[in-house]
């Protein structure tokens, strides 16, 4: 009896248990080094116990994991680590076009023309008014990029204080046989004459005839242009030796002489003689048709040197430039663009009759006159419409205040002028 009591006393002695004696039942173990208890389990085997692991069913999610942005998972078990809106600007990636830059988000103020989409709207940074046309200063044709109603082809007339000398004034002020005309940027009109005994360049300032330049007997001035480069002078073409010259201080020294050529569609052979059309680019190159014979186009420089290109076998009626200074030339019923470097011609527009003259306005829209006695407008998209019916053979010019001016160039009768208001 005493032996049984002693045995029971030994089994229940807590001191013996503290010295490491274990129960035979493993479910009753409670050693602090035993990780098999619920609070120390590591169900996904990632080395982190359940109490430290925010997802003990996914070994890729634990406090030692690298946070992967935008996956919707707290990979590193730290709610303070950003998974979205990494730049902290208040916009998640779905709404933020650059989640690495807090200065770019839908609430940011757009800074135009810097090539950066600050407000994340996806709009062209060089088209502020959203009219589909890039600003003129950034390679487009939009003259007012803060007004969606003004863009290439619509209302891009340059600002000017010039007044337009109406057709009534021009028809009555001077009688004579005008052959060509050109407007300066301030609205001054320059006219040249032929078959008038002594041939002149007339100048209109505003609405009044103010001066007469260069009177020469039988020089038959049939083309005029303005050089806006450093020379800044009036250039005329005349049939005495198929020459070019700068009008200067009342004289007209010969700049360069070419090879006379006759032909073309004008009413009088004097007007068809070389060179009958001129255009001057910003480098001072005078583009002249038929200067080196029929079908030639020449770039004549201020020192008299020239480069000649053969465009075709037929007579060329006109040459002109658009705002980018691309060269265009008329051969028969077709206007071509011309690339000097490659000597390449590209057809731009073909009319239903021979083209007498053409001009580009400040929107780079094209206007032309044909031998069918019609003036046409050709829009940027290539669509064409008749602007008006005319008589005789004419020359065209653009007044900077917004008018297309047409002069009937006929050596037999007094010249007449018509005008159309442009957009």
pLDDT at 133: 84
Establish if 344 belongs to a structural domain.
yes
Judge contact between 380 and 342, C-beta under 8 A: no
Beta pairing partners, 318: 330
pLDDT at 30: 42
Establish if 69 belongs to a structural domain.
no
pLDDT at 39: 60
pLDDT at 119: 84
Domain that holds residue 246: 167-421
pLDDT at 20: 38
pLDDT at 11: 42
Token pair belonging to 328 = 């265009």
CATH number of 298's domain: 2.120.10.30
For the chain, which residues score pLDDT lower than 50?
Answer: 1-35, 412, 414
Find the helix or strand (DSSP H, E) in which 190 lies: strand 189-193
Q: How many domains does the chain have?
A: 1
Establish if 255 belongs to a structural domain.
yes
pLDDT at 228: 82
Establish if 152 belongs to a structural domain.
no
Residue appearing with tokens 């009319």? 351
pLDDT tens digits, 271-297? 667 688 999 999 989 999 988 888 999
Establish if 213 belongs to a structural domain.
yes
Token pair belonging to 370 = 């044909």
Helix (H), strand (E), coil (C) string for 99-123: CCCCCCCCCCCCCCCCCCCCCCCCC
Helix (H), strand (E), coil (C) string for 302-367: CCCCEEEEECCCCCEEEEEECCCCCEEEEECCEEEEEECCCCEEEEEEECCCCEEEEEECCCCCEE
Establish if 27 belongs to a structural domain.
no
pLDDT at 339: 97
> Does the model's pTM come out above 0.75?
no
Establish if 411 belongs to a structural domain.
yes
Distance CA 372, CA 355 (A): 9
pLDDT at 18: 39
Terminal-residue alpha carbon distance, the chain: 127
Establish if 79 belongs to a structural domain.
no
Q: Look at residue 97 and give its three-state secondary structure.
A: coil
Half-sphere exposure for 111 (CA within 13 Å, toward CB):
7
């Amino acid at each position: 009896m005493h032996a049984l009591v002693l045995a029971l006393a030994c089994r229940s002695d807590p001191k013996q248990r503290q010295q490491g004696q274990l129960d035979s039942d493993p479910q009753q173990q409670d050693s602090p080094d035993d990780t098999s208890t619920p609070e120390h389990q590591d169900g996904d085997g990632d080395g982190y116990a359940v109490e430290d692991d925010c997802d003990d069913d996914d070994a890729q999610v634990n406090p030692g994991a690298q946070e992967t942005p935008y996956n919707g998972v707290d990979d590193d078990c730290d709610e303070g680590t950003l998974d979205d809106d990494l730049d902290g600007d208040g916009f998640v990636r779905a709404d933020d076009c650059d989640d690495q830059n807090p200065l770019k988000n839908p609430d940011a103020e757009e800074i135009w023309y810097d090539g950066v989409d600050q407000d994340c709207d996806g709009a062209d940074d060089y088209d502020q008014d959203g009219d589909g046309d890039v600003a003129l200063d950034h390679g487009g044709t939009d003259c007012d990029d803060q007004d969606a109603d003004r863009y290439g082809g619509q209302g891009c007339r340059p600002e000017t204080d010039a007044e337009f000398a109406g057709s009534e004034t021009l028809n009555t002020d001077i009688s004579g046989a005008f052959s060509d005309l050109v407007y300066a940027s301030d609205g001054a009109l320059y006219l040249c004459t032929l078959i008038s005994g002594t041939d002149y360049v007339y100048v209109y300032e505003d609405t009044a005839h103010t001066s007469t330049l260069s009177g020469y007997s039988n020089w038959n001035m049939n083309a005029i242009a303005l050089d806006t480069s450093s020379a800044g002078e009036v250039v005329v073409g005349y049939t005495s030796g198929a020459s070019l010259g700068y009008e200067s201080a009342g004289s007209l020294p010969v700049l360069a002489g070419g090879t006379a050529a006759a032909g073309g569609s004008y009413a009088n052979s004097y007007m068809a003689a070389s060179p009958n059309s001129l255009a001057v680019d910003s480098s001072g190159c005078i583009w002249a048709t038929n200067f080196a014979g029929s079908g030639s186009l020449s770039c004549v420089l201020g020192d008299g040197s020239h480069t000649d290109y053969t465009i075709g076998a037929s007579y060329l009626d006109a040459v002109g430039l658009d705002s980018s200074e691309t060269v265009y030339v008329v051969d028969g019923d077709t206007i071509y663009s011309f690339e000097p470097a490659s000597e390449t011609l590209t057809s731009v527009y073909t009319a239903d009759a021979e083209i007498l003259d053409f001009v580009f306005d400040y929107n780079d829209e094209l206007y032309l006159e044909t031998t069918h006695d019609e003036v046409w407008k050709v829009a940027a998209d290539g669509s064409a419409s008749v602007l008006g019916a005319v008589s005789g053979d004419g020359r065209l010019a653009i007044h900077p205040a917004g008018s297309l001016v047409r002069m009937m160039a006929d050596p037999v009768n007094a010249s007449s002028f018509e005008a159309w208001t442009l957009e």
